[in-house]
Structure 1
Amino acid sequence: MRQDQIDGGARRAVFSPVDNRARVDTVVRRLGDAIELGLLADGEQLPGESELAGQLGVSTVTLREALMALRQQGLLITRRGRGGGSFVSLPELPAEDRLRTRLRGWSTEELRDLGDHWAALSGAAARLAAQRTEPEDLIQLRRTADELTRAQGAATRCRLYGRFHVELAAAAQSARLTREQLALQGEVGALLCLVLADDSCREEVADRQRGLISAVQDGDHATAGTLAERCVREPVARLVAVRLAR
């Protein structure tokens, strides 16, 4: 599979049709998650309303409502006139007190359950990637892992961590797993800022990611799956500890 197919897999999932339930909210979550993860770049112009509505399989009325909500959240800005349209506006680091307030809305049992679900998805994606990809197909995953190794800010680390799991699902050539990973980032991804700010956590995750990529390249699907699961379980366990401490 060509590199442009790997790079494009995650982006194609962003613009694939949404489901039939609560479509405005679904569009808001889909595009918002992609912006938070950096899959849609800061300053990037979205397709025109008619084209984007067609890609997502929604009416232009539904799309306009969703775009308005994203503007209210500060994730999009609109420019008028020639060359205008809707442009991505990457958010700053969520305030720590707001994240801790959000964390209090989760019980430890809910966090552990979500971690189990997330680990299962990432493990499945890693095993499939080990069976389906060629070494040259892992360039984007390596790039994201390398960026995480150097990243300093918690927000940047959080985005790169989430992006890695989305790109892993894309490398597995599974559109459904990719969409599931996107949805999970919106559900809990930002909370990981509370643990990825710690250098030791960042280093542990980066080490696991490098080992995971090597296992995928070697076709070792068992090791790849185990490492992918650990890449999720260990940060979530730290998040549970933060929740218990509060």
Structure 2
Amino acid sequence: MSAGEALFRPVRAGNAFEETVERLLQAVRLGVVGAGERLPAERELAERLGISRVTLREAIRALADAGYVESRRGRYGGTFVTEHLPDPPAPDRARTAVALEDTLALRHVLETGAAELAAARSLSPADRQHLSRTLGEACAASVADYRRRDSRLHLAIAEVTGSASLTSALADVRMRANALLDEIPLLEPNLDHSNAQHEAIVDAILAGDPPAARAAMAEHVEGTASLLRGFLQ
């Protein structure tokens, strides 16, 4: 299997946009598609990745906004890797692969566990209101305020578990995750997707369905992990 075949294999349905961004970034960073070279045609690439052309276009637009690719029109048009890629994170801010994976692993365990535990509890009216309010604030947040509102919702989920230790641990890992997220661009399609996933998580918690809450949170954090790996590795 060639590098192109390996990278442009079908993505998972749950986080199609995020995984598509990750795959395209990997192809660019590894030189599978070199500077100035054209990506496979849209129809072909969408078929190989197993995604809709709408999702592919959103991913390409996000990478164009971040300076990795550019679209050209005309007979010889298409999507091309830019001649000069954005600079990588500065050495004093760069995260090693080990540090990144450590943060992502810890976050997965804590966040999925918190969602599962929250759904297993008999929540008070105040708890339910707290979750609904912070969910609404996250969904309505501007791009500039999104990171704060997103973090507040995730902390609210930990808070309604009733475990102060879990809440403290989750706050620590959110700080680590946010430091990584601050190094990559905010992609609006990802924010829309995250909001839909947030709603699924909170709905499962409020419905008292621990397996569904855990699964929804796992899908959510895996989407974020895909973007971080794509941009930072």
AA of the residue aligned to 1:223: A
Which of 98, 101, 115 is the matching residue for 1:126? Answer: 115
Decide whether the 8 Å contact of 1:103 with 1:243 is kept in 2.
Answer: no
Which of 150, 168, 183 is the matching residue for 1:179? Answer: 168
Distance in 1 of aligned mates of 2:210 and 2:92: 34
In the TM superposition, residue 108 of structure 1 has moved relative to its aligned partner by: 2.8
Decide whether the 8 Å contact of 1:130 with 1:221 is kept in 2.
Answer: yes
- Show the 5 A alignment for 1:43-54: none
In the TM superposition, residue 196 of structure 1 has moved relative to its aligned partner by: 6.6
| 1:53-102 per-position Cα deviation (integer Å, ceiling 9, x unaligned) | xxxxxxxxxxxxxxxxxxxxxxxxxxxxxxxxxxxxxxxxxxxx9x9437
Does residue 135 of structure 2 align to residue 149 of structure 1?
Answer: no
AA of the residue aligned to 1:138: R
Distance in 2 of aligned mates of 1:147 and 1:103: 34
Decide whether the 8 Å contact of 2:115 with 2:210 is kept in 1.
Answer: yes
In the TM superposition, residue 168 of structure 1 has moved relative to its aligned partner by: 0.7
User: Across the two proteins, how many residue pairs are aligned to each other?
Assistant: 146
| SS in structure 1 at match of 2:162 | coil
In the TM superposition, residue 104 of structure 1 has moved relative to its aligned partner by: 4.8
| SS in structure 2 at match of 1:101 | coil
| SS in structure 1 at match of 2:95 | coil
In the TM superposition, residue 234 of structure 1 has moved relative to its aligned partner by: 1.1
RMSD: 2.4
| 1:116-152 per-position Cα deviation (integer Å, ceiling 9, x unaligned) | 2101101111111111133732222222222222222
Unmatched 5+ stretches in structure 2: 1-85
Distance in 2 of aligned mates of 1:103 and 1:213: 37
Which of 109, 117, 126 is the matching residue for 2:106? Answer: 117
Segments ≥4 residues shifted beyond 3 Å? 99-104, 193-196
The structure carrying a bigger helix percent of its residues is 1
Distance in 1 of aligned mates of 2:112 and 2:98: 21
Decide whether the 8 Å contact of 1:205 with 1:231 is kept in 2.
Answer: yes
Indicate how the Cα distance of structure 1 residues 193 and 140 shifts in structure 2: closer, same or farther if over 3 A, else same.
farther
Decide whether the 8 Å contact of 2:135 with 2:198 is kept in 1.
Answer: yes
TM-score by length of 1: 0.53
Distance in 1 of aligned mates of 2:202 and 2:122: 11
Distance in 2 of aligned mates of 1:232 and 1:179: 18
In the TM superposition, residue 195 of structure 1 has moved relative to its aligned partner by: 5.0
Unmatched 5+ stretches in structure 1: 1-96
Does residue 150 of structure 2 align to residue 161 of structure 1?
Answer: yes
- Show the 5 A alignment for 1:1-246: 100-101=89-90, 104-134=93-123, 136=125, 137-154=127-144, 156-195=145-184, 197-244=186-233
Distance in 1 of aligned mates of 2:122 and 2:175: 27
Residue matched to 1:70: none
Structure with greater Cα Rg: 2
| 1:33-55 per-position Cα deviation (integer Å, ceiling 9, x unaligned) | xxxxxxxxxxxxxxxxxxxxxxx
Indicate how the Cα distance of structure 1 residues 171 and 108 shifts in structure 2: closer, same or farther if over 3 A, else same.
same
Distance in 2 of aligned mates of 1:157 and 1:188: 14
